[in-house]
Amino acid sequence: MRIVLWGFGAMGRGVAKNIVQSSFMKLVGVIDKNPAYVGKDVGEILGVGNYGVKVRESKDIIEETNPDLVVIATSSFVKDVLPQIEYCVKNHANVITIAEEMAYPFESHKSESEYLDSLAKRYGVTILGTGVNPGFVLDTLIIALTGVCSRVDKIVARRINDLSPFGKTVMETQGVGTTVEQFEEGLKKGTIVGHIGFPQSIMMIAKALGWKVDKIEEQRKPIVSKVYRETEVVKVQPGMVAGCDHSAKAYVGDKVVIELYHPQQIHPHLEEVDTGDYIEIYGNININLAIKPEIPGGKATIAIATNMIPIVITAEPGLKCMADLPVPRSILSELK
Ligand code: NAD
């Protein structure tokens, strides 16, 4: 399988390494605008020796190399990745993107989704949005668990994670290192957003279960630290914000049917907060799943974006979500 990567950041480099090291995929091109990478050999940057493919700024590489699939890891938003997806599809390439809004864009971006679906069908290729979350923990995994329930009445899930490994952009969008006043101001201005993906996860679950969600309410609160915390990119004094406690509730009528909680902060253990992924399903049977500590976000996103490659290449054409495709599985685990 011939693959191009668009976006050679933390996630893109991880996917690239998986492809380079696999026996059945070839990385035929990498696109990134970062001047620190442009013109350099991909293998040298990844620390695996010369690979013979250089990072380029121009998207023309897709037309030149005619890949089976392009992995897009450039942005979180439909408005940014739509022209990139469009270019790939018009060059007959399947697409996987980890843009959070693309995990289930059918409700939040209706006209864009209809356009991408018809374009993909016209060109005979498949487009998929995936990732750890949205894309797996608070949607696909929940949907899979409902497969053993004859009836589901309510879903409550929590992803409690550690933000410490992430870079400056994530700290800024989560409000880490701000005062409470700056946090509130950032929420109003839209510079602090918390988690991107609650509406997408909720609507994916609702679609799978045949529920008609009438309303989604989201709440973002500052996690105010009692102790000093620091990472390589941010320092948090006691009384300052260590993260964003973001949650969402979905209603059918006036009944809450889905509750998702995703408090994200740096060094949660400093205040005895255990990280983990927790899913509770209530229905004719009750399911209570706890994954401790949480599935690591970066490594899991890199893995699922890689693991979905053969599934997307062989899928029916169109714009798909994780719930439309076969169960994800590890494709790189050859036993010797
Ligand atoms: P990053 O900032 O490390 O990397 C992004 C890369 O894309 C950079 O190297 C940048 O130069 C490049 N880029 C951006 N726009 C470009 C353009 N127009 N042309 C060429 N190159 C361009 O970010 P990351 O950690 O690798 O994550 C990538 C995106 O995926 C982010 O938006 C992140 O929020 C999202 N993400 C989603 C999930 C999920 O679970 N769905 C998980 C992790 C990351």
The model carries a pTM of 0.96
- Atom of ligand 1 lying closest to residue 77 CA: 32
What residue has token string 């023309």?
A: 60
How far is ligand 1, taken at its centre, from the CA of residue 75, in Å? 5
- Atom of ligand 1 lying closest to residue 7 CA: 7
Distances (CA, A) of 322 to 46, 110, 153, 211: 29, 17, 22, 17
- Atom of ligand 1 lying closest to residue 37 CA: 9
Give the pLDDT score at 167: 81
- Atom of ligand 1 lying closest to residue 73 CA: 28
Sequence-distant (≥ 6) Cβ neighbours of residue 254 within 8 angstroms: none
- Atom of ligand 1 lying closest to residue 8 CA: 9
Q: SS3 sequence, 94-121?
A: EEEECCHHHCCHHHHCHHHHHHHHHHHH
11-47 pLDDT, tens digit each: 999 999 999 999 999 999 999 999 999 999 999 999 9
Neighbours of 159 (CB within 10 A): 24
Q: How far does the chain reach from its first CA to its final CA, in angstroms?
A: 22
In the predicted model, what is the mean pLDDT of residues 49-63? 97
How far is ligand 1, taken at its centre, from the CA of residue 73, in Å? 4
In the predicted model, what is the mean pLDDT of residues 60-78? 97
In the predicted model, what is the mean pLDDT of residues 91-110? 98
- Binding pocket residue ranges, ligand 1, CB within 6 Å: 7-12, 31-34, 73-76, 98, 100, 103, 131-135, 301
- Atom of ligand 1 lying closest to residue 74 CA: 7
Per-residue pLDDT at 64 exceeds 80: yes
How far is ligand 1, taken at its centre, from the CA of residue 97, in Å? 10
How far is ligand 1, taken at its centre, from the CA of residue 155, in Å? 30
Nearest protein Cα to ligand 1, atom 12 = 7
How far is ligand 1, taken at its centre, from the CA of residue 148, in Å? 36
Give the pLDDT score at 301: 96
In the predicted model, what is the mean pLDDT of residues 156-165? 94
Whole-angstrom distance, CA of residue 255 vs CA of residue 174 = 29
Give the pLDDT score at 165: 84
Nearest protein Cα to ligand 1, atom 33 = 76
**Residue among 28, 30, 26 at smallest CA distance from 8:** 30
Give bridge partners of residue 157 from the DSSP assignment.
260, 279
133, 134, 137, 138 alpha-carbon torsion, rounded to 10°: 130
| Ligand 1 binding pocket mutation candidate from 8, 11, 299 (most atoms within 8 A of CB) | 11
Mean pLDDT over each residue of the chain, to the nearest integer: 97
**Residue among 140, 82, 69 at smallest CA distance from 113:** 82
How far is ligand 1, taken at its centre, from the CA of residue 103, in Å? 15
How far is ligand 1, taken at its centre, from the CA of residue 217, in Å? 27
Per-residue pLDDT at 87 exceeds 90: yes
Give the pLDDT score at 335: 77
How far is ligand 1, taken at its centre, from the CA of residue 267, in Å? 23
Q: Which residues of 163-192 are buried (b: 16+ CB within 10 A; e: fewer)?
A: bbebeeebbbbbbbbbeeebbbebbeeeeb
With cut-offs at 50, 70 and 90, classify the pLDDT of residue 199.
Answer: very high
- Dig out the tokens for 234 from the structure: 């941010």
With cut-offs at 50, 70 and 90, classify the pLDDT of residue 95.
Answer: very high
